[in-house]
C-alpha cells in the first residue's frame, strides 16, 4: 500500500507571489465537511476543511473561506473561477451567492450533461453522486483503467470504471462516522470513541472493544466488497482509497493499493479544464 498526496503549499510568505495570479477555487461539498482547494494551474496551493451546515449563510461561508485563504497567503482577488461538487442540494444556491458576492464568479457545478470524458453506464446517470463521478475522473487520469475507487465519507462508496473507461456503478455502505454515531445513540451504555487502530484485537475494556470492532470491521468490509467486486468483473483493477479515513483503514487492508486523500479536488480541476470556456 502506497500513500501519496497532491503537491500543496501552505505559507503566508507566498502572499506577494500570489498577487494577481488567477486561481481556481474547488469545493467538494459533502454531508459532513466541505473540502476546499485552490489550484494555480495544475498545482494545488492549499486545501482545508470547513463543516457543512445548512444554517450557515452565504456571507458566513464567504468570510470563513476568505479568512482561511488569507492565512494561506492567497488573496481573495486571485480567485478566477469556482467549481463545486455538491451532494447537499439545499446548499447549491447559498454557495452560488457566495461565489458571486465574494469571488465575482459564476459557479460551475458538477451536473448531468457536462463534459467529464467518461461514459456513465448507470441505469439513471442523474442518480450518481457528483463526488463519485469526480473521483472516477481523477482516478482514470492518475492511475488508468480499470480502477476501483473507495471513498470514506459520510457514506463509504465503491465505484468501478472498466478498462474502456466506462463508469459502471458500485456499492454504497454506511460510513464510519455515522455508524459510530448510530451505535452510540442506540446503546445506552456505549460512549463515543476515537477511531484508531487498537493494539490488540481482543479489547480488555469497552473502549478498546469498540475500537477493535469498528476498525477491523471496516477493514473487513472494504476487503470483502473489493474481493467480491473483482470476482464479479473477472479482472484485477487497481484500488484507490480517498476520504477522511482512507489512510487509517488502508493500513491493514489487503486490497487497497494506494491512498490519494485529495482525489476529489484533482477531479474537480480536471473537469474544470474540460468545461471552461475562457483561457486561463
CA 237 to chain centre: 20
Q: Which of 28, 81, 131, 151 is catalytic?
A: 131
* CB 258, CB 143: distance < 8 Å: yes
Q: Catalytic: 28?
A: no
200 in helix, strand or coil?
coil
Looking at the chain, the number of H-run helices and the number of E-run strands are: 8, 12
CA dihedral sign of residues 45, 50, 53, 58: negative
The set of catalytic residues is 131
Amino acid at each position: 500500500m502506497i500513500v501519496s498526496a497532491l503537491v500543496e503549499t501552505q505559507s503566508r510568505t507566498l502572499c506577494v507571489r500570489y498577487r494577481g495570479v488567477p486561481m481556481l477555487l474547488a469545493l467538494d461539498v459533502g454531508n459532513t465537511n466541505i473540502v476546499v482547494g485552490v489550484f494555480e494551474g495544475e498545482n494545488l496551493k492549499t486545501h482545508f476543511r470547513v463543516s457543512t451546515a445548512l444554517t450557515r449563510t452565504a456571507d458566513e461561508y464567504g468570510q470563513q473561506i476568505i479568512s482561511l485563504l488569507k492565512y494561506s497567503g492567497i488573496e481573495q482577488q486571485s480567485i478566477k473561477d469556482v467549481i463545486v461538487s455538491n451532494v447537499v442540494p439545499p446548499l447549491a444556491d447559498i454557495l452560488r451567492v457566495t461565489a458571486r458576492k465574494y469571488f465575482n464568479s459564476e459557479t460551475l457545478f458538477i451536473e448531468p450533461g457536462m463534459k467529464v470524458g467518461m461514459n456513465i453506464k448507470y441505469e439513471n446517470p442523474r442518480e450518481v453522486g457528483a463526488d463519485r463521478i469526480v473521483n472516477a475522473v481523477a482516478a482514470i487520469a492518475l492511475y488508468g483503467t480499470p480502477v476501483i475507487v473507495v471513498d470514506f465519507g459520510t457514506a463509504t462508496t465503491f465505484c468501478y470504471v472498466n478498462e474502456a473507461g466506462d463508469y459502471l456503478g458500485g456499492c454504497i455502505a454506511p460510513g464510519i462516522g455515522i455508524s459510530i454515531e448510530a451505535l452510540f445513540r442506540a446503546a445506552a451504555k456505549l460512549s463515543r470513541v476515537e477511531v484508531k487502530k487498537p493494539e490488540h484485537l481482543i479489547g480488555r475494556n469497552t473502549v478498546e472493544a469498540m475500537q477493535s470492532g469498528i476498525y477491523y470491521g471496516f477493514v473487513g468490509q472494504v476487503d470483502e466488497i473489493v474481493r467480491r467486486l473483482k470476482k464479479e468483473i473477472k479482472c484485477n483493477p487497481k484500488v484507490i482509497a480517498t476520504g477522511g479515513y482512507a489512510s487509517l483503514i488502508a493500513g491493514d487492508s489487503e486490497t487497497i493499493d494506494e491512498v490519494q486523500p485529495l482525489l476529489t479536488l484533482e477531479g474537480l480541476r480536471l473537469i474544470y479544464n474540460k468545461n471552461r470556456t475562457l483561457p486561463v
